[in-house]
Amino acid sequence: GAGGSSSQYQDWMHYVLPTITLASVSTAYAARIMRSQLLDVMNQDYIRTAKAKGLSNRAIIIKHALKNALIPVVTYIGVDFGGMLSGAILTETVFNWPGIGYEVYRAISMRDWPIVMGGVTLIVVVVMVINLLVDISYAFLDPRIRLGGASDKA
């Protein structure tokens, strides 16, 4: 790995550029979605009721508006996580960082198909788990959404 005990920088310093590279596009788009959702939510009736009760703008945004505005943002981040994992192949290759992406790249260039299939399978499993967590988080963000079973009938 990079760094080590003889390095003048700590090991975490070597994560800065790859992290910025992977997250810059996603962060900008997530912020844009969040802004547009907050603008939509702030025009809802329950926000006007909270303002009429005399709550501060900060309390209204944190306690009432943020939860409802987060649902599309969480959806985007969950879907984009797969893109970031596949982007890790290029990012780890460019920054010569040892990781799953760099190993998949090396396996593709050497035509080592079992390693490629294992790397792709691992990425698919991680994306599936992230999508499951996103779906479960909907129930916590919006009280109207409930996790139902076979006994729940509408």
Q: What is the pLDDT of residues 10-25, one digit of tens each?
A: 667 777 888 888 888 8
Mean local confidence (pLDDT), 113-139: 91
Q: What is the pLDDT of residues 43-67, one digit of tens each?
A: 999 899 999 999 899 999 888 888 8
Mean local confidence (pLDDT), 140-145: 78
Residue 149 has what pLDDT? 59
CB atoms within 10 A of CB 89: 19
Confidence of residue 83 (pLDDT cuts 50, 70, 90): confident
Instruction: Return d(Cα 59, Cα 3) in angstroms, integer.
Output: 44
Residue 25 has what pLDDT? 82
Taking 70 as the threshold, does the pLDDT of residue 150 lie above it?
no
Cα dihedral sign, 61-64-68-70: positive
Between the two ends of the chain, the Cα-to-Cα distance in Å is: 55
Tokens of 115: 């390693």
Tokens of 34: 């969040």
Taking 90 as the threshold, does the pLDDT of residue 148 lie above it?
no
